[in-house]
């Protein structure tokens, strides 16, 4: 059932907004915050996506550290997650060869069965989750994961410290390696027993589950995680493109290739006959537990680099003192993410990670992208934005793109934001129910980024001199046209009447 809303949202929102961010960054040559010189009131959107990218960076480092720990643990003759008898295994550890069918004798789904060697290695050997009673009892960081996390942060820093001078070289590996790894894992996955059933489950349509709001919300959120839209990543990297680069063609190729490989690889490798029921545990855990050797996240490294580059470029472009001391600023950002990630590598760290994964970039990222679409399409104007694209690439976007930017994508995003709030359910991890205060903390994290949008609008309005009309005009007029405000020649305020023998025009505030 997930495939239908995912494909639908990819077409009506994911691809149009992916294209929008690439073109926006490439034309204006600015980061996520300063790109809003096109409509100063919306600069808070830039700060919101930067904060969201920073939140995600806290726990993405941890997931990469897990992968690194699995890599180091694999340098043995017998992989530690394939059999029982290790120090971390419980007396209930069961050989997976003895478990047949998707449902066990006691009506427990295999995907929720926690006593396989792979599940116990993940939860007891890596996370030490059994030593924590909940989010109120997280304990101290584990030294094995601490070392892995330190390696990740060091590599991240030296990949970003000189900006595109280093990240531009590193990206030749980090941007191409995932495709190679995904292809290798795809080949490996289709050779596993039950791979055909996994692919069938991937393509199977369960119309009954389409009634569930969570399926649609998860599909919408996953779109932006998959494509990187809404995190400032695309804007930041596109700002370094050549002005006449054809981001339209390269963007479509990247979307189609990566989504096909990732989706088919995951379902062929991680879905056997016994796993046709989707795991109920949130976050990356189920994929790691079910098939640790094939379900690794090769795409997380470039995503994490992109997220941190979005934070660094976005703030450095806005504050020149940070740009002049980029190396020190990059160190501060990476070291800060390292310190806060320590909470996620404690014995109860998975509860902290689940909290961040649910609230830091759930409803908040959808809201930020909604505001971005409104700012570009309705205030800056689709026609003006289309002219910008024509200057770069020699052609205007087609009707499909312009309709999606102006009507379809904002309407879809507004619907999903409202539904995600109305249908919110208290957070859980397996059978553990998070306390009420943890849910409030989560919503505080979500609101901390969303509130930046209206707060900045109020700040900009109050700090701008002039009459009410002039303040509004300065707030919605591109900075390079502010001289027109004094002349009362504000394009957004003008209503062009239809001429008798000319093309029909309408209020340019909506164009």
What value, to the nearest 5°, has the Cα angle with vertex 184 and ends 72 and 152?
35
CB 482 within 8 A of CB 464: no
CB neighbour burial string for 217-255, b if at least 16 within 10 angstroms, e if fewer: bbbbbbbbbbbbbbbbbbbbbbbbbeeeeebbeebeebb
Q: Which residue has the tokens 């490996």?
A: 188
How is residue 405 written in tokens? Answer: 């930017």
What value, to the nearest 5°, has the Cα angle with vertex 76 and ends 73 and 78?
105
How is residue 41 written in tokens? Answer: 């009131």
How is residue 66 written in tokens? Answer: 């897990």
Quick check: helix, strand or coil at residue 431? coil
Rounded to whole angstroms, the Cα distance separating 37 from 320 reads 16
What are the φ/ψ torsions at residue 310 (nearest 5 degrees)?
A: -65, -40
Q: What DSSP line would sit under 27-63, residue for residue? A: HH---TTGGGGGSGGGHHHHHHHHHHHHHHHHHHHHH
409 is in an annotated binding site: no
**Cross-strand partners of 238:** none
Q: Binding-site residues for Na(+), please?
A: 226
Q: Binding-site residues, please?
A: 226
């Amino acid at each position: 059932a997930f495939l239908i809303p995912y494909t639908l949202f990819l077409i009506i929102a994911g691809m149009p907004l992916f294209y929008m961010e690439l073109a926006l960054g490439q034309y204006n040559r600015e980061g996520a915050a300063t790109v809003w010189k096109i409509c100063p009131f919306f600069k808070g959107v830039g700060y919101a996506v930067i904060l969201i990218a920073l939140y995600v960076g806290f726990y993405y480092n941890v997931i990469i550290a897990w992968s690194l720990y699995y890599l180091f643990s694999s340098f043995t003759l017998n992989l530690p997650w394939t059999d029982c008898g290790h120090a971390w295994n419980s007396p209930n550890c069961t050989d997976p060869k003895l478990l047949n069918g998707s449902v066990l004798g006691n009506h427990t789904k295999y995907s929720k069965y926690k006593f396989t060697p792979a599940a116990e290695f993940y939860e007891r050997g890596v996370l030490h989750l059994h030593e924590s009673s909940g989010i109120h009892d997280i304990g101290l960081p584990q030294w094995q994961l601490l070392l892995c996390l330190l390696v990740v942060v060091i590599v991240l820093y030296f990949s970003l410290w000189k900006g595109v001078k280093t990240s531009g070289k590193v990206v030749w590996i980090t941007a191409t390696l995932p495709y190679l790894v995904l292809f290798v894992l795809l080949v490996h996955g289709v050779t596993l027993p039950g791979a055909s059933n996994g692919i069938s489950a991937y393509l199977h349509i369960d119309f009954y589950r389409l009634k569930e709001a969570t399926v649609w919300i998860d599909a919408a959120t996953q779109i932006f995680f998959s494509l990187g839209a809404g995190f400032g990543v695309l804007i930041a990297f596109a700002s370094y493109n050549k002005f006449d680069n054809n981001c339209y063609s390269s963007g479509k190729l990247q979307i189609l290739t990566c989504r096909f490989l990732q989706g088919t690889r995951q379902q062929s490798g991680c879905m056997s006959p016994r796993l046709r029921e989707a795991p109920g545990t949130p976050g990356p855990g189920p994929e790691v537990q079910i098939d640790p050797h094939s379900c690794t996240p090769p795409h997380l490294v470039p995503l994490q680099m992109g997220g941190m580059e979005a934070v660094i470029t976005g703030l450095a472009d806005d504050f020149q003192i940070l740009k002049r001391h980029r190396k020190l600023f990059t160190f501060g950002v990476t070291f800060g993410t390292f310190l806060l990630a320590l909470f996620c590598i404690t014995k109860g760290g998975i509860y902290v990670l689940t909290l961040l994964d649910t609230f830091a970039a759930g409803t908040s990222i959808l809201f930020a992208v909604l505001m971005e679409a409104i700012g570009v399409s309705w205030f800056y104007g689709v026609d003006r934005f289309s002219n910008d694209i024509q200057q770069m690439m020699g052609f205007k976007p087609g009707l499909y793109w312009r309709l999606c930017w102006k009507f379809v994508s904002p309407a879809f995003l507004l619907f999903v934001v409202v539904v995600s709030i109305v249908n919110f359910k208290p957070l859980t991890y397996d059978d553990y129910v998070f306390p009420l205060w943890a849910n409030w903390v989560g919503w505080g994290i979500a609101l901390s980024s969303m509130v930046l949008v209206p707060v900045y609008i109020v700040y900009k309005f109050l700090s701008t001199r002039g009459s009410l009309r002039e303040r509004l005009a300065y707030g919605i007029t591109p900075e390079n046209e502010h001289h027109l405000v004094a002349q009362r020649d504000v394009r957004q305020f003008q209503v062009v009447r239809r001429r008798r023998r000319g093309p029909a025009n309408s209020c340019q505030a909506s164009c």
